[in-house]
A and B are shown apart, each in its own frame.
Chain A
């Protein structure tokens, strides 16, 4: 009985499975995407379960063991307060994941809403919203994020707000372009003829169509988000010590770099690998989705 149901279910969705199979095949063929996916997966798994297995508390200071070089007790050595750098790097992954998720939701959400409104209504609304995004885009991203972070004061939440405020413009432009395309489709006209109001058309028929390009762009930009967060942390404008944010950790070890190189180096390597992973994944995704390269 249940087996029958399952086989019926499988039969009905066969084309979908076939399509997934093809996508999987393309993914495997694209080496960069495979490497990127593996790195990102390891990063996420470490972030979620890593803190349960770390050998030392990442925050409590232990002055006895300060500035130990890498050894079997401390894989990555200890910093100037005697904290285990290995434990701190592992615990820091969760902070980066938090930043990525919340920044994606805020900037993607703001961008989507404003972009759809600008694209659907056009005219004055479009001008006002798009000139505002132009103003945001006129500044280099990191400088603007620094300005916001400095203005709000350094903390985890303010870092997230600052990065989100800088990032939404890209998504707004994407969503606007998509909304402009969708609003001229015949089915929008036909639903108007059936008496649908603006709210219904925008929320039910235009916005869902604009989500997919925004989502793709969000994944492509996750590496940049980490890098910005780390830069802010390094400059002392981001997450405050003692939270183990990677950029702040690199900054911590700055004055010991000549004698105790490990303090800055390991968090720096972590940043480099994860950002590389996200960028490889993004490039790979773009290749997989590009129909010209799909054969």
Chain B
């Protein structure tokens, strides 16, 4: 069961802006196997969401995929045309967005909107899909009879995210991308939603990419974690391995910055802030903030290398 579902190779995405070319993703490569749950973690603006949008091929002008391959079940998504993409989107890969309330059309009833996606995949009318809509809503612990006739403005944030999840999973996609599904929700609802996702995904055996900046959420939910910084991948390892044995200075800094209950010491942050991606630093993009920066870090860009079994890191400290 360890076969490859998604392989991203040398992906490079830029945004053409008035200030110059923003290098949002620089040479990103990773592999995701079937039934894995991969967490992508990084600061705001490090390219997490751009990665997920690129996999869905939803990068729109002024953004552009300039280089790279996204191979999903043997098909290169970068080369597919819009029509073949539309047969993959929703059916094979689906996505949950971070703002559940604004991701639903405000003037359409919930039942209709869920029905739309089901009817397209199953090739039936929206009316005929209502039976499946009710099943989908039941699966996310909502009362179908009530919710189908509500407008998005009548839902709470948690309910709206449940609706989004039911939409994304109603077609049983092979890959589901959850782009910060809980960042707009408060902590108790966050826990409920993550538990629900966990339960549904274990039942249906979907592969999941979870995008978050919450290390705790990722640690609980994911099998593997991918750390991104300024449009590059810095570390990729199994969750346990990453938390017990972080290699990259950035990962180490992140883990040190987690507040712990009962800890009296001051929390150590990472000095500096995320670089401007119009003029990213030469060499390793992390070197201006890195406590271990060497001469070579300013000149040469490190590549992602296998350091130990299934533990990839991109840093000149390891070679």
Interface residues of A (CB under 8 A from B): 185-187, 189-198, 200, 204-205, 208-209
Contact = CB atoms under 8 A, between A and B. Distances in A.
B247 interface: no
A195 B170 CA distance: 13
Contacts of A196: 86, 90, 116-117, 120
Interface string B69-109: 00000000000001101111111001101010011111100
Contacts of A192: 56, 58, 89
Contacts of B82: 197-198
Contact of A194 (B83, B102, B167): B167
B164 interface: yes
B122 to A, nearest CB: 12
Task: Give the residue among A194, A196, A198, A200 with the most B Cβ atoms within 10 A.
Answer: A194
Contacts of B58: 189, 192-193
A33 to B, nearest CB: 26
A209 B106 CA distance: 10
Given A190-B104, A195-B88, 20 more contacts: A186-B102, A187-B102, A187-B105, A189-B58, A190-B164, A191-B117, A193-B56, A193-B94, A193-B95, A194-B94, A194-B116, A194-B117, A195-B87, A195-B90, A195-B120, A196-B90, A196-B120, A197-B83, A197-B86, A209-B107
A195 B105 contact: no
Contacts of B121: 195
Contacts of B103: 186-187, 189-190
Contacts of A189: 58, 97, 103
Nearest to A185: B102
B91 A205 contact: no
Nearest to B121: A195
A208 B87 CA distance: 25
What are the 7 tightest A-B residue pairs by CB atom distance, in nearest-first order?
A195-B90, A195-B89, A194-B90, A190-B103, A193-B95, A194-B117, A186-B102
Nearest to B170: A194
Contacts of A195: 85-91, 117, 120-121
B105 A205 contact: yes
A72 to B, nearest CB: 56
A196 B167 CA distance: 13
Contacts of B95: 190, 193-194
A204 B107 CA distance: 11
Contacts of A198: 82
A190 B97 contact: yes
A242 to B, nearest CB: 48
A187 B106 contact: yes
A5 B309 CA distance: 68
A198 B44 CA distance: 31
Contact of A191 (B88, B102, B107, B116): B116
Contacts of A185: 102
Contacts of A205: 105
Nearest to B118: A194
Contacts of A200: 116
A248 B256 CA distance: 86
Contacts of B90: 193-196
Contacts of B116: 191, 194, 196, 200, 204
B114 to A, nearest CB: 10
B3 to A, nearest CB: 24
A189 B90 CA distance: 12
25 contacts: A187-B104, A189-B97, A190-B95, A190-B104, A191-B105, A191-B117, A192-B89, A193-B89, A194-B89, A194-B90, A194-B94, A194-B95, A194-B168, A195-B88, A195-B90, A195-B120, A196-B90, A196-B117, A196-B120, A197-B83, A198-B82, A200-B116, A204-B116, A208-B107, A209-B107
Contacts of B164: 190
Nearest to A183: B60
Nearest to A182: B105
A139 B99 CA distance: 46
Contacts of A187: 102-106
A133 B89 CA distance: 36
Interface string B18-59: 000000000000000000000000000000000000001010
Contact of A186 (B56, B97, B117): B97
Contacts of A194: 89-90, 94-95, 116-117, 120, 167-168
Task: Give the residue among B82, B88, B116, B164 with the most A Cβ atoms within 10 A.
Answer: B116
